[in-house]
Structure formats: structure tokens, C-alpha cells
Chains A and B, each alone.
Chain A
Amino acid sequence: MSDDEPLDADELRTLLSLVDAEQSRADVLMNVVIPIGAALAYETEWGRLLERIVCDAMKLCTADGGVLYLRDPSSSAEARSHESSRALTPVIVRCDSLGIAVGGASRGPVAELCRPARRGSTVADAAMRSASVNLPEAHDEDTGTWLCGEAEQFFEVTDYRTRSSLAVPLRGQGGEVIGVLRLFNARRPDDYEISPFEPGMQQVVESLCLLAAAAVESYVRQQRLKDHVRELTIRIDETRKGHEVSAIVESDYFKSLRQRARALRSGGGNGDDNGNGST
């Protein structure tokens, strides 16, 4: 299509459809993702914070399930940057069609359903590359092989067939990956059929993960400060204190001051003997 030729009806329809999709994505970002991000920032309970990240992302994509993997939040950024992908541990698992809701505020046996991310898995891949991994089909029907290690493992435990899978890294302030959110089996809103995660929706989830990472880091930072104050030690050198107190209380001024104070409190008037003095 050259710039000079007018668009035909099909091209115009395609263009309008793209514009609609972009408008819709902008609306979702403005009206859904940003409010979710704000709510995450104010969440004060760790389990609920993690649950919200997964559940809100699932709702955005109408996904059937999601798993949130996190690196150990107590480790330093430097340590996390050198750790192997095995350090990405699942903390929340949700699957609506199976009625699975474990981890976070819901508690339950996460480890029985999902293993830590292994080298070569989509979650590990997303973390290593610091980029989303979007699989329209997690299982190659022709060869019978799983393209997503996490989906295969989940199938072994639950017989659940993952089709579409989207793994999005959560990047901290310094750019290091602090976790990965994996959503699976997006559904079309109109007929609820399983569908791939559309590129537009991937971008929306990536935006959400930016805000989620900020909320997680903020929470960890606050907890570290609180831990610091729990370890806060008020050091008082009792020997030195004793010397300093003695030096004052043994002075004539202090002795007369105490006498005067007692007299005042007992209603004995000024108690003024040698208590008067100049500063």
C-alpha cells in the first residue's frame, strides 16, 4: 500500500480494528492496571499482596490460572543477580477450573503442586533473559513434547492440560529480576475458549508486573526497616552513667536543689536556703 493510495474497505477495517485495540489497551492501562498498582502499593499484608498480583493479572487476561515465583526477598540484589534460576520459588498457585488456591493468605501446599523453576523452563528463561516468554501452545501435539516445563510438571500432578502460557518477569528498581509471574490458559471473553495471550494483553500484564515489582520491593524494604528496629539496641554505658550522675548529685547545688524540691512539694514554701544561685 503506498501512502498516496486511499485505503480500501478491508484495510480501513483492519486499521480501525488496530486503533480500537490500542484504545482499549490504553483504557485498560489507565482504568484497570494503574488502580491495581496503587492498591498493591498500599497492601500491608504480604500474603494478600502476592495473591492480588496473581488474581488481578488472571482477571485482566481472563486466564484460568497463574503462579507467582519469587526469589528469596531477604537476599541482596547482588546475591540475586548471581543466583541460579532454581532460586525462583513458587509462592502462589491459582487454577480456577481445578479450584486450586494455595499460597499467600490462603496457605496450603504450594510445593506439592509446583517446583522451583529449573534451568531451561519458561520461568527460568524469562528470568535469565529478563523478558516475557509467550507460548501459544505449551504442548506440541505432533511430537507429544512439552514446550513448557512448568506445564508438564503441573500436568503430572493434576492431569491439567496447559495450552497457552505467558511468563513475565518482575523487575526491581535496579533492573534485576525479583520474580516471575506465569499465567496459563487465557480465555476469550466472549466464548471462554482457551486462546493464546495476545500481544496487547502481554503488554498490559508487563505493565502490571512493573507496578507489582515496585510494590513487592517497597514491602520488603519496609519489613527490613522494621526488622532493623526490632534488633535496635539502646546501648547505655551504666558505668559512665554512674560517674556522670555522681558528679552532679554530689554537688552542693544538687543537694540543696533536692532539699528545696522536697520542701516545695511538701508545701513548705520556697525551701530557700542555699538553693538560690545564678546560672
Chain B
Amino acid sequence: MAKIISIHSFRGGTGKSNLTANLSASAALRGKRVGIIDTDIQSPGIHVLFGMDEEMITLALNDYLWGNCPIENAAYDVTPPPVRDAGGAVYLIPSSIKSGEIARVLREGYDVGRLVDGLRALVTELKLDCLFIDTHPGLNEETLLSMSISDVLAVVLRPDSQDYQGTAVTVELARRLEVPRMMLVVNKVPAAFDAGAVREKVEKAYGVPVAGVLPLTDEVVRLASADVFCLRYADHPLAAQIRGIAEVIVS
């Protein structure tokens, strides 16, 4: 049965979308058929990591939510060559980047129930092994919905005071929604910080296992979302850490 994984963070700027792309690619490198749905309709961005631009996106998640098309018609095969060679596949369902359509969503909203139905249809139509949901940061009905239907929830935070309180609320809500598996990923950690000490502090504060403590890395900053880091820098220690987290998620 396909696994649904939500990648969430309370605040923006934690590296959630970048991490989602990397975890998805890493899972697909294990020969899995992986779907990624960008539910951050207000500020979509994960498509950039897979080299997609506005011209290439003819149908998006927005079109499905407004009843214009079946959801699988808004899915794009973005399988990178190394993943294809490994027998895996990556399908991306992007959100529209047209400002008019974003404004329409903000103005009119959408049927979240239809979103849930769409996720199920995606899994079936594309024969997915796992589906990653890249959520909008913060707590709203859509993010709570994503959590409620997920088998795994990964909450991303930085070692930053602005992230702590909101992450605590998110973790508690996830517990109340009885998410089967929950983990934390501490991202953008300054290299001089002791990873073991960070892990210990965070696990103690939240009572949730930390799947990874990922260092702030120059190569990631320089890459600037132009590609999927784990594929571009496959031998980098950070890529190995992310593959480790992906293995924990899909196992």
C-alpha cells in the first residue's frame, strides 16, 4: 500500500521544499515510484528544483481542484536520469505559478475534500509507492488535512527561536490527529554546532525522534534550488544523510 508522507514546517524558510525534493529523489533512487504534490498553492516552488518553468506547466493542481481535469493530467514525469537508471520514477503535481490563479485560490478557496480524493486517485493512477506532500508552512485547514491523511509526518525546523514554539504546537496537533509516524528534521544547522547535542536537545524538548540534523551547506546555498542536491552532489556527506532519512521514511 502506498505511503503518504507530509513534509511540514511551522515557518517558511526552513528548507522544506528543497528537502521534499531531495527525499523524494532519494526514495526514487531505491527503485520506488514516487509522487510529489505541491500543496503550497499560495507560494509554489518545488517545481523549480526539477527544472520546470511556467511554459511547461499547462495543467496544475489548481485545475484539478476547480474541476477542470483529472488529477493525473496535472502530473508530470520529472524523473531525473540517475533515478530512471535505478528503476525509479518521480511524478510532480505542481501548483500553478500564474499570479492570477494564485489570487483566485486566495479569494475563493478550494474544496479540501476534493484534494483528499485527488491524492488517492494519484496513487492509483500512477501506481505510486509513496506520495510526498509539500505543504504550505504554518497551521491551516489544508496543512492539518495533509497531516490527518499521512502515514508519516516529517516536521522541519531550524535551530532558531522563531521555530520552536510553533513546532511544539504542530507536534501536539499531529499527536491529536494520531499520525502513525512522526519525526523531526533539524535543517540549516551551522557547521560548528555539535550535531549530537542538537539532536539530544530537540528530542528532549519535543519527545519526537529526530531523523536528521542537516548542516547549513555552502553547496546547497550556491546551488540555489537549480537542481536536486542529492543528485548533483551524490557523494556529498549531506546527500548521504538525506538518503538515510529517506530510507527511514520509506522503510
- By a beta-carbon cutoff of 8 Å, the part of chain A in contact with chain B is 221-222, 225-226, 229-230, 232, 234-237, 240-241, 244-245, 248-249, 253-254, 257-258, 260-262, 264-265, 270, 272, 275-279
- Given A229-B193, A241-B169, is A261 in contact with B198 using a C-beta cutoff of 8 Å? no
Contact A248 B139 (CB under 8 A): yes
Partner of A261, one of B111, B140, B177: B177
Beyond A226-B197, A265-B178, list 17 extra A-B contacts (CB 8 Å). A221-B192, A230-B194, A232-B198, A232-B201, A235-B164, A237-B165, A245-B172, A248-B144, A249-B173, A254-B176, A261-B149, A262-B178, A264-B148, A277-B111, A278-B111, A279-B109, A279-B141
Contact B139 A236 (CB under 8 A): no
> Shortest beta-carbon distance, B225 to chain A, in Å?
26
Q: Label chain B's interface by main secondary structure.
A: helix
- Given A222-B192, A248-B139, A279-B110, is A232 in contact with B159 using a C-beta cutoff of 8 Å? yes
- Asked if B40 is at the interface of the complex by the 8 Å CB criterion, the answer is no
Contact A254 B193 (CB under 8 A): no
Given the complex of chains A and B, what is the CA–CA distance between A248 and B138 in angstroms? Answer: 13
Partner of A277, one of B141, B178, B190, B201: B141
The interface residues of chain B lying within 8 Å CB-to-CB of A258 are 148, 176-178
Given the complex of chains A and B, what is the CA–CA distance between A222 and B190 in angstroms? Answer: 10
Partner of B144, one of A230, A254, A278: A254
> Shortest beta-carbon distance, A168 to chain B, in Å?
29
Partner of A279, one of B139, B140, B202, B205: B140
The interface residues of chain B lying within 8 Å CB-to-CB of A222 are 192
- Asked if B142 is at the interface of the complex by the 8 Å CB criterion, the answer is yes
Given the complex of chains A and B, what is the CA–CA distance between A248 and B168 in angstroms? Answer: 14
Name the CB-closest residue of B to A222: B192
The interface residues of chain B lying within 8 Å CB-to-CB of A260 are 148
> Shortest beta-carbon distance, B17 to chain A, in Å?
19
Given the complex of chains A and B, what is the CA–CA distance between A275 and B149 in angstroms? Answer: 12
Contact B197 A230 (CB under 8 A): yes
Given the complex of chains A and B, what is the CA–CA distance between A225 and B193 in angstroms? Answer: 6
Contact A264 B149 (CB under 8 A): yes
- Asked if B116 is at the interface of the complex by the 8 Å CB criterion, the answer is yes
* Chain B: interface size category: 35 or more
Scan residues 142-165 of chain B and give those whose CB is less than 8 A from a CB of chain A.
Answer: 142, 144-145, 148-149, 159, 161, 164-165
The interface residues of chain B lying within 8 Å CB-to-CB of A264 are 148-149
> Shortest beta-carbon distance, A49 to chain B, in Å?
16
- Asked if B113 is at the interface of the complex by the 8 Å CB criterion, the answer is yes
> Shortest beta-carbon distance, B152 to chain A, in Å?
13
The interface residues of chain B lying within 8 Å CB-to-CB of A261 are 148-149, 177-178
- Asked if B13 is at the interface of the complex by the 8 Å CB criterion, the answer is no
Partner of B112, one of A232, A234, A279: A279
- Asked if B180 is at the interface of the complex by the 8 Å CB criterion, the answer is yes
> Shortest beta-carbon distance, B227 to chain A, in Å?
29
The interface residues of chain A lying within 8 Å CB-to-CB of B110 are 278-279
Partner of A225, one of B145, B180, B190: B190
Scan residues 100-135 of chain B and give those whose CB is less than 8 A from a CB of chain A.
Answer: 109-113, 116-117
The interface residues of chain B lying within 8 Å CB-to-CB of A248 are 139, 144, 173
Name the CB-closest residue of A to B163: A234
Q: Mark B47-82, 1 if CB is under 8 A from A, else 0.
A: 000000000000000000000000000000000000
- Given A234-B164, A235-B161, A277-B112, is A257 in contact with B197 using a C-beta cutoff of 8 Å? no
The interface residues of chain A lying within 8 Å CB-to-CB of B148 are 257-258, 260-261, 264
> Shortest beta-carbon distance, B89 to chain A, in Å?
25
Given the complex of chains A and B, what is the CA–CA distance between A258 and B142 in angstroms? Answer: 13
Show 23 residue pairs from A and B whose CB-CB distance is below 8 angstroms, ordered by the A residue: A222-B192, A225-B192, A225-B193, A229-B198, A230-B197, A232-B197, A232-B201, A234-B164, A235-B165, A236-B205, A245-B172, A245-B173, A253-B141, A257-B145, A258-B148, A258-B176, A264-B149, A270-B113, A272-B113, A276-B113, A277-B111, A279-B109, A279-B112
Q: Mark B25-58, 1 if CB is under 8 A from A, else 0.
A: 0000000000000000000000000000000000
Given the complex of chains A and B, what is the CA–CA distance between A235 and B111 in angstroms? Answer: 37
Partner of B109, one of A234, A245, A278: A278
Given the complex of chains A and B, what is the CA–CA distance between A261 and B174 in angstroms? Answer: 11
Query: Which A-B residue pairs are the 9 nearest by beta carbons?
Result: A276-B113, A225-B192, A261-B148, A234-B205, A278-B109, A229-B193, A236-B168, A222-B192, A226-B194
Given the complex of chains A and B, what is the CA–CA distance between A226 and B190 in angstroms? Answer: 10
